[in-house]
Amino acid sequence: MTDDREKILAAIRRSLRGTDKFDAARNPASPLTSMPQGDFESQFGKFKAELESLGGLAEALNSDADASEFIAEHTGPASSIFIYNEIANLHRSLVESLSESRHVRFGLEFPVGYDKRDAAAFDAAVTGCAACVAETGTVVIRTDMRLPAALAPKLFVVVDSGQLLASLDEFFTDSFGNTDASNLFLITGPSRTADIEKQLVKGVHGPKEIVVLFINQ
């Protein structure tokens, strides 16, 4: 089917003929009236406060072993947990120790174009992230499998402390804009709705619980 490209672009050109072109000089200042301080502790404090105000949870831990223990504590013994490849590669001891007490499956086991029902079978997913933003309590996910993290009721995000950004100003830059991945998801707290009488309900289609674990490397 042929589209109306030429027609529409010609109509735009015609309508705008003779009008002034406007070029906005961007003001580089941040609109924030207060910014978290530069050190990790205060930025983490801000991140934690923001995420927890939305019903999420953030913890700073010392090791993979601590993270494994934390995840085990926050999932039932019969839980089935999906582990993303990057966690399996970068946090081996976390995965090994979690495998001893929980049923885990790895991204590596899934072929390209896997049956999406298989991704809906998990009680929790453990993923890494591309960045975290203290200003809003946001995690940025960029994965080779979109569904397990979107479908599981609980989402654990394992973060290296160096991935924490102070504000959205630092995230919306070329280094993130020019990513090669087909997708980049900013997740700020549990999935939510207020569509019924403006009453807030958490956990609509996405995870009901989101836990962000910072591991001090």
Partner 1 sequence: MTELKSRNFKRLYKKEIADQKLRENLRKATIQASGKRNDSFSEVDFVFLRDEAKKIKQESISHLNDLLSQFEDNAHENGCTVFYAESPEKANAYILDVARKHEIKKIVKSKSMVTEEIQLVPFLEKYGIETVETDLGEYIIQLAGETPSHITAPAIHKSRTEIARLLHEKIGIEQNDDPAFLTGEARRVLREKFLSAEMGISGANFLIAENGAVVVVENEGNARLSTSAVKVHVIVTGIEKVIPKFSDLRIFMRLLGRSATGQKLTSYVSLIRGPRKEKEKDGPEEVHIVLVDNGRSRLLGTDHQEVLHCIRCGACLNVCPVYRSIGGHAYGSVYPGPIGSLVTPLFFGPENAPDLPFASSLCGSCTEVCPVGIGIHHQLLSMRQEIKPGSKHGLESFVFRNFRKTMLRPGRYKLLTRLARVFSSTSIVRKILKGWTGYRDLPQLPSRSFREIYKSEGGKG
Site for partner 1 in 118-147 (CB under 8 A): 119-120, 135-136, 138, 144-147
Between 51 and 104, whose beta carbon lies closer to partner 1? 51
Residue from 37, 92, 114, 217 touching partner 1 (CB under 8 A): that is: 114
Between 31 and 77, whose beta carbon lies closer to partner 1? 31
- Coil, strand or helix at 30: coil
Residue from 93, 173, 216, 217 touching partner 1 (CB under 8 A): that is: 173
Residue from 37, 62, 89, 193 touching partner 1 (CB under 8 A): that is: 193
Q: Are 159 and 216 in contact (CB under 8 A)?
A: no
Largest CA distance in the chain: 71
How far apart CA 80 and CA 187 sit, in angstroms, is 22
How far apart CA 162 and CA 164 sit, in angstroms, is 6
**Binders of partner 1 among 88-107, rule CB under 8 A?**
107
Between 104 and 140, whose beta carbon lies closer to partner 1? 140
Site string for partner 1, 49-78 (x = CB under 8 A): -x---x------------------------
- Per the DSSP assignment, residues forming a β-bridge with 103 are 80
**Binders of partner 1 among 23-42, rule CB under 8 A?**
23-27, 29, 31-34
Residue from 52, 59, 181, 215 touching partner 1 (CB under 8 A): that is: 181
Q: Are 126 and 3 in contact (CB under 8 A)?
A: no
Q: Are 81 and 149 in contact (CB under 8 A)?
A: no
Between 21 and 77, whose beta carbon lies closer to partner 1? 21
Q: Are 134 and 190 in contact (CB under 8 A)?
A: no
How far apart CA 55 and CA 167 sit, in angstroms, is 20
Tokens of 135: 């200003």
Q: Give the shortest CB-120-to-partner 1 separation in angstroms.
A: 6
